[in-house]
Chain A
Amino acid sequence: MKRIVYREWRIPPQRYWSLIGYLAALIGIGALSFGYMEHEGHWVTGMSNSVVWGMPHVFAVFLIVSASGALNIASIGTVFKKPIYKPLGRLSGLLAVALLVGGLLILVTDLGRPERLIVAMTHYNFSSIFAWNIYLYTGFMAIVIAYLWSMADRQGAPFNYPIGVFALIWRLALTTGTGSIFGFLVARQAYDAAILGPMFVALSLAYGLAVFMLVLFFCFEEEGRSIGPRVLRRLRNLLALFVAVVLYFVLIYHLTNLYMAKKDAFEHWLLLGGGFYTFVFWVGWILVGNLVPLWILYHPALSEQRNWIIAACTLVILGGLAAMYVIIIGSQAFPLAMFPGHTILESGFNDGVQGAAASYWPSIPEVLLGIGGVALSLLIILVGVRVLQFLPESLADEVVAPDEEQLAEAVAVKPA
């Protein structure tokens, strides 16, 4: 094992600037969409009084959840002392901050009164999980920045472990908090489940890692740095494990819901009769997001090929967006159960007449706003790796630390 050398991302300037240009264009379009929605009001979106959180929330929550998951790689290296992950810690920290910034920006620009952000920062209602989250998010950024310092600076090295532990705990709280935004809504049948907190942690592990792997592969590929089979195998196995955990949580979540009679109607609707939402759930979330990636990642031949691993990561991300769509929008579209044992025949406020779901169709500006947020995250990452030493020069087998098992063997054979 050699000393790990970190080096800035040295792709040719034209290539770099053209990438930045693309992203800036996407951000610009996102900004225009924001301006349009802000000026005209939310009526130009697909949102209504029934579906109040739309596509921007799908993107924002996905980014925020991935942000905390992206930090996982650093945690495994520091807290769980797996040396093979250590060289990836810096990139993992950068991703965590960048994805969080993108996600929060979408949330803020989707507010009805975004110019009142200052109100949100000066008036707190501490019974609101939202208000806690403002602290959790800002705290997360500060901690990750300290964490990065402890990884990159010699003076910070002694603090690396304690900061790493703290960051891990914080990020668990953060994702649980994000999940709890939904999990504590007693009124909605789809929510009101404490399991949403831990389920979001599981989702974050998978999505964060998938995003991390794609960014890593892309950066290394562009510049011709090498990733050895061992690192590749490690990341792949980890992703497979996380995707399986997601599947497990989804199963438990729906089984517990099915067990509770009052949630029967919702489950029946989502799993069988919800039309588009049922499709997004089964095809988007379960098939594309979980089963196909699992099949690829466990396939004896395909799982050895980089391009297939990349495909699996992409599918996990698409599945993640589908999952957010189902969790956020599907749960609002399903009518509130206000009168158990009754059917609503008429209502002046779209209360689910004859059990009908509320209609929602994402409008183009909403989607563009979401994409703008994603582009901003990517821009921060690209600029970050370009100007600072985030990327290890090589992740080839002979450079990275040996597997722990071999490490133990090596110690055993060496005379003490």
Chain B
Amino acid sequence: MHRLHAPHNQPSGDESPAEAVATTRRALIGTAAGLGAAALVAPGVVLHTLSAQAETAPITNKSRWGLLIETDKCAEGCRACIEACDHEHGLDRQVPEGSPSKWEQQKAVWIRKVKLQDNQTGRITQLPLMCQHCEHPPCVDVCPTGASFKRADGIVMVDRHLCIGCRYCMMACPYKARSFIHHNTTGQLTAVPRGKGCVESCNLCVHRRDYGQDSTACADACAATGHHAILFGDLKDPESPIRRRMREIQNRQIREDLGLNTGVRYAGI
């Protein structure tokens, strides 16, 4: 399936580049359909047509985006998803400040790798951990200004114009998914506004959603390494690959006891 990469520095609010992308996409869809690879391409066409509307149409709750992570496929020492995320959102442009240990504690991290050992059996598990895009997000509940919000399609993110930097959401998040920007930032990408004094976290590559792309940077990078540990997709569509895979294998939420109904699910923990 072809995938369109929105130019890295595309302003997410600007209409004209969006339209340009849409036009290209329609042209491509036309070509694809014209080629007549009916059975294989048809679902792709449907998907793309839907997302092409999504750019101009308001975001609806017809989809709920999420990730399925198969921990047994996550390779020891691999950091492909983290590097891709950092690059996609300009986190690799952070300039270290203070001592290295201080910087370790203060830099923004949207996705990290965690290695666990079962106390009983000694079994080792690796997994990438990021904002879980909770259906009932505690961060949104506690945010005094409403800067933390959940989109209709289930993506939880921070409006950096409303965030006052109180960090209450960080106190409330059970996954320690959020980072506070402790220092001055430079060279941010226009698609990913970030700035000193605000809080941020994984946004499921929301700019890709809005340009109709069908994956996240981490999932793509993981697939590119051949591990295929991260699957992105629509949790509401019973026929989506993620849903099909979720039917096939056991998977659960981290801290299921909290009843947050997370959008990120893990197999093998």
Separation of A105 and B74 alpha carbons in the complex (Å): 47
Contact assessment for A345 and B117 in the assembled complex, using a CB-CB cutoff below 8 Å: yes
Interface residue SS majority, chain A: loop
Separation of A116 and B116 alpha carbons in the complex (Å): 40
User: A134-B144, A346-B115 in contact; A187/B174 too (CB < 8 A)?
Assistant: yes
Q: Closest A-chain residue to B254, C-beta based?
A: A338
Contact assessment for A53 and B171 in the assembled complex, using a CB-CB cutoff below 8 Å: yes
Q: Closest A-chain residue to B120, C-beta based?
A: A341
Residues of A within 8 A of B162 (CB): 116, 119, 123
Residues of A within 8 A of B15 (CB): none
The answer, yes or no, to whether B151 is at the interface (CB within 8 Å) is: no
Query: Which residues 123-147 of B sit at the A interface, judged by CB distance below 8 A?
Result: 124-125, 129, 138, 140-147
For chain B, the count of residues having a C-beta within 8 Å of the partner chain is: 59
The answer, yes or no, to whether B155 is at the interface (CB within 8 Å) is: no
Which residue of B108, B145, B147, B180 contacts A42 across the interface (Cβ within 8 Å)? B180
Q: Contact residue range for chain A?
A: 35 or more
Contact assessment for B145 and A125 in the assembled complex, using a CB-CB cutoff below 8 Å: yes
Contact assessment for A120 and B146 in the assembled complex, using a CB-CB cutoff below 8 Å: no
A-B pairs with lowest CB-CB distance, top 8: A112-B165, A112-B197, A187-B174, A348-B112, A48-B105, A130-B144, A43-B182, A346-B115
The answer, yes or no, to whether A393 is at the interface (CB within 8 Å) is: no
The answer, yes or no, to whether A236 is at the interface (CB within 8 Å) is: no
Contact assessment for B166 and A130 in the assembled complex, using a CB-CB cutoff below 8 Å: yes
Q: Give 14 new A-B contacts, CB below 8 A, not counting A40-B184, A48-B105, A346-B113.
A: A49-B109, A111-B197, A125-B143, A185-B138, A186-B172, A188-B171, A336-B174, A338-B129, A339-B269, A343-B116, A345-B116, A348-B82, A348-B113, A351-B114
The answer, yes or no, to whether A278 is at the interface (CB within 8 Å) is: no
Separation of A114 and B258 alpha carbons in the complex (Å): 32
Contact assessment for A124 and B144 in the assembled complex, using a CB-CB cutoff below 8 Å: yes
User: A41-B197, A112-B164, A112-B180 in contact; A350/B173 too (CB < 8 A)?
Assistant: no
Separation of A118 and B260 alpha carbons in the complex (Å): 31
The answer, yes or no, to whether B93 is at the interface (CB within 8 Å) is: no
Residues of A within 8 A of B108 (CB): 49
Query: Which residues 160-195 of B sit at the A interface, judged by CB distance below 8 A?
Result: 162-168, 170-176, 178-184
Q: Closest A-chain residue to B141, C-beta based?
A: A127
Separation of A185 and B163 alpha carbons in the complex (Å): 19
Interface residue SS majority, chain B: loop
Q: Closest B-chain residue to A341, C-beta based?
A: B119
In the complex, 14 of the A-B residue pairs with CB atoms within 8 angstroms, ordered by the A residue number, are A40-B183, A40-B184, A41-B183, A48-B182, A112-B166, A113-B164, A125-B143, A127-B141, A128-B144, A130-B143, A184-B142, A187-B174, A344-B116, A345-B124
Contact assessment for B182 and A338 in the assembled complex, using a CB-CB cutoff below 8 Å: no
Residues of B within 8 A of A129 (CB): 142
A413 to chain B, nearest CB (A): 59
Residues of B within 8 A of A237 (CB): none
Separation of A346 and B176 alpha carbons in the complex (Å): 15
Contact assessment for B180 and A52 in the assembled complex, using a CB-CB cutoff below 8 Å: yes
A-contacting 9-mer, from B5-13, B48-56, B62-70, B96-104: B96-104
Contact assessment for A187 and B120 in the assembled complex, using a CB-CB cutoff below 8 Å: no
Residues of A within 8 A of B255 (CB): 187, 338
User: A50-B105, A116-B164, A123-B145 in contact; A332/B171 too (CB < 8 A)?
Assistant: yes
